[in-house]
Amino acid sequence: MARKKSKKNTMQTAARKLVTSVNTKSIVSEQFRTLRTNINFSMPDKELKTFLVTSSSPGEGKSTVAANTAVVFAQEGKQVLLVDADMRKPTVHYTFHLSNTLGLSNLLTRQEKIADVLRPSEIENLKILTSGPIPPNPAELIGSKTMEKVMEELKKDFDVIIFDAPPTLSVADAQILSNKCDGTILVLNSGETEKAGIVKAKEALVSSQANIIGIVLNNFQLQKDHYYYQYYGNAE
Write the DSSP symbol of residue 157. T
Block means of pLDDT (10 residues each) for the chain, length 236 residues?
A: 42 61 88 92 84 93 95 97 97 96 97 96 97 96 97 97 95 96 92 80 94 86 50 46
> In this predicted structure, what is the pLDDT of residue 230?
43
Q: Is 48 exposed, middle or buried (0-12, 13-18, 19+ CB in 10 A)?
A: middle
Q: Where are the domains of the chain?
A: 46-232
By three-state DSSP, how is residue 1 classified? coil
Fold designation for 46-232 = Rossmann fold (3.40.50)
> In this predicted structure, what is the pLDDT of residue 26?
86
What does pTM read for this prediction?
0.86
Q: Rounded to whole angstroms, how far apart are CA atoms 75 and 166?
A: 26
